[in-house]
C-alpha cells in the first residue's frame, strides 16, 4: 500500500512538473542550403526516404526540366524533358526514382521511367497511351511488379516485360490509398460519379493477391479511410466508428471501436498506421490515434493561425509530424511518440507550395526557391535574466521573491540578475501587500525586464434598498467617485477609508467604511414623503373605488407578479394617494383592461401597469407603464379638466376619448355598463366598415374539412421524405432498430412541435394586427404562383413560366442553413436523440418555403375561432402533416411488405407531383382571393 501511495505521489509530481516546465527540444532544424532562380516555375520537389537525393521538376523558359541534387543540395544531374507539358516524380529509394512524363501528341500519353541516380542509369521505360498522370500518389514494388496509385488509374507495371495493366478497366473517380499487407495489396478508391453516392461516402476496397488478375472488391458506404492493422484492416466510418476486419477469403468484421472522441480526417504516411485530425484554434491542436494500441496523443502546435491562412498537416508512421502555415511560412515539427515539444521553423521562402522529408532532412519550396533543412543536435547556452521591480507610481520595490520553475530566489534590492540555461521558464514575482506578477518567457538571449507590481486590491460591495424603490449608490475616495450603481455597487479598492452614499427622493444616507479585506455593506432607507393628499382612513379595496381630495380617482390595472406594478403601488402609497388596484389575474378585470386598452387610438402591445386618472368623471390621464416619481407627481398635480393625456414612456400625447364610457367601465364594470345607457366599445371593424362576426359552431364544422385537406396536401413533401429516410436508414444500419426508433421519434416530434409553435405564434400575430391578413394573403398568392411556375407541365409551354428564385441575400442565408442542416444530419446518424431533435427543428424551418402556402391559409382560417378550438385545429393539422413521416419510419424499421408498399406509394406520388403542385397552386390562389374579399 505504501509503495502504491509513493508511486502515485511520484506520478502526480511528474505531471505537475510537466505542466509547469515547458522543456526545450533537444534537437533543432537548421538551414543547410538554399537555391533560388527568377526564371524557375517549380511544380514538384521530392526527397528520397534517406534524404541522400532530391529531385525537382520545374519549368524554365517554357521548357520542363528535371534536376537531381545530393544531400547538401548540390547539383548531380539536370535533364531536359523533351516534348513534355507536365510531369511528376516519386522516390521509392535512393536507387529508384519514378518519373511520369505527360507527352504532347494527337493522343495524350504518359511515359513512366525508372531512374537510378546512384549509377545515373534509366532502368525501365513504359508508354501508357491515352493517359495523363498529374500526381503519383503512392508507388511500391512487389515481386516483378511496380504499382502506381494515381488519381484516375491503378497501374501494374511488369518490370521484366516492360508491360502494364490498368485496373479497373475504366477510369476511377479517385485513387485514395494503397498498402501491402501479408494477405495481399489493399486499395481504397472512389469509383462512383453519382453525387448522391458521393454524399454518402461510397467507396470500394480492392484486395489483390499480388497480381492484377486475382482480386476481390467490396463496396461500402460512409467510409472515410482505411488503417493498416496487418493482418487486419481498420475501416474508419463517418459516424466515428472503426470497424476491424480480418483479410481472408473476404473481409470478415471481427470487432469495432465506437464513439471516438475526435472526428479523424486523415491517416499517416506511407503505410497508414495512425489516424489524425487538426483542430484550428488558439493554439492549433493535433490529435493522433494509435488504433492497435488504443493510445491517444495530443500536441499543441505553436503555429499562428489567422483567418484565411492555409494549414497543411502531415503525420508519418515513424512518429514525425509537420504542421505548416503556408501563408505565414511557419512549420512546427516534432515526434509525438517521444512527447518532445514541437520545434517551430520559420522559412525564408514566399508562400510555401510544398514540403518533402527525408530521414533527417526537410525540403521546403515555393515557385522560385528550394530550401534544405537538416536535424542537428541542439547546443544549450547560458543567458542572463535581469528583473527590475517597481510599484504603480514608479518607486522601486526591494525584498521581493522570484520563483522560477519552482525554485525561489530573494532580492534585497529592486534588481535581481540570474544566469539560466536556454529554455522556457514560468516566473512568479511576489511581495506581501502586492498582487503576484506571473509571466512565461523563452530565454534565447540575455533579457532584461521591468516589472510593475500592483498593490493588492479588495472588493467593496454595497447593497441598498428602501420601501420606495432602489436607491442610487456612490462609493467615494475622498471627493472622487469610484463607481455608481442603482441598488448595488461594487469597486476594487486599495486598503483604506472610503465613503458610501445612498440617495432616493431627496433622502441621503452617508457612512464611512474602512477596508482591510473584502467588505460588504448593506443599507436600508426608510422613506416617509409628505403626501399630496391626506390619506383616506377607509383605505382602498377592489370592490369600492377609492376617492381622493379634489374628487381624484386613480385606478391601476396590473398584477402582483409584475415588478413595475408593485413599484407603482409603492409610489402611490408614499405620495398618500388612495387608489384602486385591479389584478388582471381576475377574468372580469382582465376583460375590463383589454376592452379599455382596445379603445385607445394608439395601437400598441398590451402593457401593465395601466393607470387611469379621473377628476370627477372626466378622464384626465392614461399612464402606460411605470413613470418616474417626479413624472408621477407632475401628472397628479396637473388640474386641467378639459383634456385627456396619454403617457407612454417619455411620450405625452393628447387624445380624444369618451370619458363617460371609461369612467363607467372602470368604476362599475362591464356587467353594469349596458344598464347605464353608455355604449360599449364596438368590435373591431375591417376595411369595409362592417364588424367581424363571432364564429359559430357551424363555422368550425365547415373549417375542419378544409384544414384536413390543406394538411394532407402540405404533408406530401419529397424534400423532407428524402432527408428523413436517409437519416433513419443510416441509424438503423449503424446503431440498430432501437436507436432508429428513438431517433425517428425525436425527429418527428421536433417537426411536429416546431410547426405547432409556428402556427400558434402566427395566429397570435394575426389576431393582434388585423390588417396583417392582407399581407399574408399576398404571401399565399405568391406561394400559389410559385407552385404553378415550378410544375413541369407549364415548363413545356414555350418557356412562358420561369422558376422563381430567391434574392441573393436570402439564398446565402438558405445555403448556410442547408450546410448546418447537413452537419446536424450527418452527426445524428450516430443515433443521437438530441441531434436528431435539432436536425428536425432546423429541417422544419429550412423546408418551410416548400410548405408555407397551405399553412398560412390554415392559420388565417382558424385565427377567428376561440383559442381552444384553434389549438385543436392546429393539433389535427400537424398530426396529418407528420403522418407520412410516421409511415416512412415504420416502413424502414419494420421492412418487408410495408416498406415495399411505401416505396411504390412514394414513386406514384413523385410521378403525380407536377399535377398535385398545379392543383395546389390553383387552390392557394383561390384561397388568397377569398381571404382578401371575405369580411
Give the Å distances, CA to CA, from 178 to 227, 247, 281, 320, 796. Answer: 11, 15, 32, 21, 50
Q: Residue 800's pLDDT is what?
A: 37
Q: Residue 832's pLDDT is what?
A: 74
Report the 10 Å Cβ neighbour count for 847: 17
3-state secondary structure 585-607: CCHHHHHHHHHHHHCCCCCCCCC
**Spatial distance between the Cα atoms of 729 and 737, rounded to a whole number of angstroms:** 10
**Spatial distance between the Cα atoms of 324 and 362, rounded to a whole number of angstroms:** 12
Give the Å distances, CA to CA, from 874 to 132, 593, 822. Answer: 62, 29, 29
Give the Å distances, CA to CA, from 59 to 7, 41, 66, 67, 292. Answer: 62, 5, 9, 11, 45
Question: What's the CA angle centered on 842, arms 838 and 848, to 5 degrees?
Answer: 150
CA dihedral of residues 252, 227, 173, 733 (deg, nearest 10):
50
Q: Residue 723's pLDDT is what?
A: 61
Q: Phi, psi (5° rounding) for residue 577?
A: -95, 125
Mark the ranges of the chain whose per-residue pLDDT is less than 50: 2, 5-6, 8, 10-24, 529-544, 670-698, 792-805, 896-900, 935
Question: Which residues on neighbouring strands pair with residue 647, listed in sequence order?
Answer: 623, 652
**Spatial distance between the Cα atoms of 852 and 871, rounded to a whole number of angstroms:** 18
**Spatial distance between the Cα atoms of 381 and 443, rounded to a whole number of angstroms:** 10
Choose among 445, 452, 489, 486: nearest CA to 469: 486
Choose among 770, 784, 759: nearest CA to 707: 759
Give the Å distances, CA to CA, from 209 to 102, 328, 841, 842. Answer: 30, 46, 50, 49
Q: Residue 673's pLDDT is what?
A: 44
Q: Residue 42's pLDDT is what?
A: 93
3-state secondary structure 204-238: EEEEECCCCCCEEEEEECCEEEEEEECCEEEEEEC
pTM value is 0.45
Q: Residue 415's pLDDT is what?
A: 93
**Spatial distance between the Cα atoms of 548 and 573, rounded to a whole number of angstroms:** 12
789-842: pLDDT as tens digits: 665 444 444 343 344 445 555 556 656 666 666 666 666 666 677 877 887 787
Q: Residue 694's pLDDT is what?
A: 43
Evaluate whether 550 touches 536 at the Cβ level (below 8 Å): no
669-708: pLDDT as tens digits: 644 444 333 434 443 344 333 334 444 444 556 677 877 8
Q: Residue 606's pLDDT is what?
A: 82
CA dihedral of residues 845, 847, 851, 853 (deg, nearest 10):
60
838-878: pLDDT as tens digits: 877 877 766 655 556 677 777 777 766 767 777 888 888 88
Q: Residue 754's pLDDT is what?
A: 83
Amino acid at each position: 500500500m505504501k509503495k502504491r501511495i509513493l508511486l502515485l505521489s511520484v506520478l502526480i509530481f511528474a505531471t505537475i512538473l510537466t505542466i509547469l516546465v515547458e522543456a526545450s527540444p533537444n534537437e533543432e532544424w537548421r538551414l543547410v542550403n538554399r537555391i533560388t532562380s527568377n526564371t524557375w516555375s517549380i511544380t514538384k520537389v521530392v526527397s528520397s526516404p534517406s534524404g541522400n537525393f532530391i529531385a525537382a521538376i520545374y519549368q524554365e523558359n517554357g521548357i520542363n526540366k528535371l534536376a537531381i541534387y545530393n544531400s547538401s543540395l548540390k547539383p548531380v544531374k539536370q535533364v531536359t524533358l523533351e516534348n513534355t507539358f507536365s510531369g511528376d516524380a516519386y522516390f521509392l529509394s535512393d536507387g529508384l526514382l519514378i518519373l511520369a512524363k505527360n507527352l504532347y501528341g494527337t493522343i495524350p500519353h504518359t511515359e513512366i521511367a525508372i531512374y537510378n541516380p546512384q549509377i545515373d542509369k534509366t532502368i525501365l521505360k513504359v508508354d501508357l497511351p491515352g493517359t495523363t498522370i498529374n500526381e503519383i500518389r503512392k508507388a511500391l514494388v512487389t515481386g516483378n511488379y511496380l504499382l502506381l496509385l494515381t488519381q484516375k488509374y491503378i497501374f501494374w507495371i511488369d518490370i521484366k516485360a516492360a508491360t502494364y495493366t490498368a485496373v479497373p478497366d475504366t477510369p476511377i473517380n479517385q485513387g485514395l490509398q494503397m498498402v501491402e499487407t501479408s494477405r495481399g495489396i489493399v486499395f481504397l478508391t472512389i469509383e462512383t460519379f453519382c453525387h448522391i453516392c458521393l454524399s454518402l461516402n461510397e467507396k470500394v476496397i480492392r484486395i489483390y493477391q499480388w497480381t492484377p488478375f486475382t482480386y476481390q472488391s467490396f463496396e461500402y458506404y460512409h467510409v472515410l479511410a482505411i488503417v493498416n492493422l496487418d493482418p487486419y484492416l481498420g475501416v474508419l466510418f463517418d459516424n466515428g466508428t472503426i470497424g476491424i476486419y480480418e483479410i481472408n477469403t473476404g473481409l470478415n468484421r471481427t470487432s469495432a471501436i465506437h464513439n471516438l472522441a475526435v472526428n479523424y480526417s486523415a491517416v499517416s504516411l506511407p503505410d497508414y498506421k495512425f489516424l489524425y485530425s487538426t483542430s484550428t484554434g488558439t493554439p492549433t491542436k493535433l490529435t493522433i490515434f494509435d488504433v492497435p494500441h488504443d493510445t491517444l496523443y495530443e500536441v499543441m502546435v505553436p503555429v499562428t493561425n489567422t483567418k484565411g491562412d492555409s494549414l497543411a498537416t502531415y503525420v508519418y508512421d515513424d512518429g514525425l509530424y509537420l504542421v505548416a502555415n503556408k501563408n505565414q511560412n511557419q512549420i512546427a515539427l516534432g515526434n509525438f511518440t517521444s512527447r518532445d515539444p514541437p520545434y517551430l521553423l520559420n522559412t525564408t521562402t514566399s508562400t510555401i507550395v510544398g514540403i518533402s522529408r527525408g530521414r533527417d532532412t526537410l525540403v521546403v519550396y515555393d515557385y522560385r526557391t528550394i530550401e534544405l533543412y537538416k536535424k542537428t543536435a541542439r547546443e544549450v547556452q547560458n543567458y542572463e535574466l535581469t528583473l527590475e521591480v517597481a510599484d504603480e507610481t514608479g518607486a522601486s520595490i526591494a525584498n521581493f521573491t522570484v520563483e522560477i520553475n519552482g525554485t525561489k530566489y530573494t532580492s534585497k534590492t529592486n534588481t535581481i540578475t540570474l544566469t539560466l540555461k536556454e529554455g522556457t521558464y514560468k516566473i512568479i514575482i511576489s511581495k506581501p501587500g502586492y498582487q503576484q506578477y506571473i509571466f512565461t518567457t523563452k530565454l534565447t538571449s540575455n533579457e532584461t525586464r521591468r516589472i510593475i507590481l500592483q498593490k493588492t486590491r479588495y472588493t467593496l460591495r454595497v447593497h441598498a434598498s428602501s420601501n420606495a424603490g432602489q436607491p442610487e449608490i456612490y462609493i467615494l475616495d475622498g471627493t472622487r467617485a469610484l463607481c455608481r450603481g442603482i441598488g448595488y455597487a461594487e469597486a476594487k479598492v486599495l486598503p483604506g477609508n472610503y465613503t458610501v452614499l445612498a440617495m432616493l427622493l431627496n433622502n441621503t444616507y452617508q457612512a464611512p467604511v474602512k477596508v482591510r479585506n473584502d467588505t460588504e455593506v448593506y443599507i436600508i432607507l426608510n422613506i416617509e414623503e409628505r403626501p399630496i393628499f391626506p390619506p383616506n382612513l377607509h383605505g382602498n379595496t377592489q370592490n369600492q373605488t377609492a376617492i381622493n381630495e379634489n374628487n381624484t380617482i386613480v385606478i391601476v390595472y396590473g398584477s402582483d407578479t409584475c415588478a413595475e406594478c408593485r413599484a407603482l403601488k409603492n409610489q402611490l402609497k408614499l405620495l398618500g394617494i388612495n387608489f384602486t388596484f385591479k389584478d388582471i389575474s381576475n377574468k372580469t378585470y382582465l376583460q375590463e383592461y383589454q376592452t379599455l386598452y382596445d379603445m385607445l387610438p394608439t395601437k400598441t402591445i398590451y402593457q401593465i401597469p395601466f393607470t387611469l386618472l379621473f377628476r370627477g368623471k372626466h378622464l384626465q390621464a392614461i399612464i402606460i407603464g411605470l413613470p418616474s416619481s417626479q413624472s408621477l407627481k407632475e401628472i397628479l398635480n396637473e388640474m386641467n379638466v378639459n383634456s385627456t393625456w396619454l403617457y407612454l414612456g417619455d411620450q405625452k400625447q393628447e387624445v380624444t376619448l369618451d370619458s363617460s364610457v371609461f369612467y363607467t367601465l372602470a368604476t362599475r364594470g362591464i356587467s353594469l355598463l349596458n344598464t347605464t345607457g353608455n355604449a360599449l366599445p364596438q368590435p373591431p371593424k375591417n376595411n369595409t366598415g362592417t364588424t367581424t362576426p363571432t364564429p359559430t359552431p357551424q363555422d368550425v364544422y365547415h373549417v375542419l374539412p378544409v384544414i384536413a385537406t390543406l394538411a394532407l396536401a402540405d404533408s406530401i413533401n419529397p424534400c423532407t421524405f428524402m432527408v428523413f429516410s436517409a437519416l433513419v436508414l443510416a441509424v438503423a444500419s449503424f446503431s440498430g432498430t432501437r436507436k432508429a426508433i428513438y431517433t425517428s421519434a425525436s425527429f418527428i416530434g421536433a417537426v411536429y412541435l416546431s410547426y405547432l409553435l409556428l402556427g400558434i405564434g402566427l395566429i397570435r400575430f394575426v389576431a393582434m394586427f388585423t390588417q396583417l391578413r392582407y399581407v399574408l394573403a399576398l404571401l399565399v398568392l405568391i406561394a400559389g404562383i410559385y407552385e404553378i411556375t415550378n410544375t413541369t407541365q407549364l415548363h413545356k409551354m414555350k418557356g412562358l413560366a420561369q422558376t422563381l428564385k430567391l434574392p441573393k441575400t436570402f439564398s446565402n442565408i438558405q445555403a448556410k442553413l442547408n450546410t448546418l442542416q447537413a452537419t446536424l444530419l450527418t452527426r445524428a446518424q450516430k443515433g443521437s436523440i438530441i441531434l436528431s431533435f435539432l436536425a428536425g427543428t432546423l429541417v422544419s424551418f429550412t423546408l418551410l418555403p416548400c410548405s408555407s402556402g397551405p399553412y398560412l391559409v390554415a392559420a388565417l382560417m382558424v385565427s377567428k375561432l376561440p383559442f381552444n378550438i384553434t389549438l385543436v385545429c392546429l393539433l389535427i393539422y400537424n398530426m396529418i402533416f407528420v403522418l407520412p413521416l410516421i409511415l416512412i419510419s415504420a416502413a424502414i424499421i419494420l421492412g418487408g411488405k410495408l416498406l415495399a408498399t411505401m416505396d411504390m406509394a412514394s414513386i406514384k406520388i413523385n410521378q403525380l407531383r407536377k399535377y398535385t403542385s398545379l392543383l395546389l397552386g390553383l387552390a392557394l390562389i383561390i384561397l388568397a382571393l377569398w381571404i382578401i374579399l371575405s369580411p
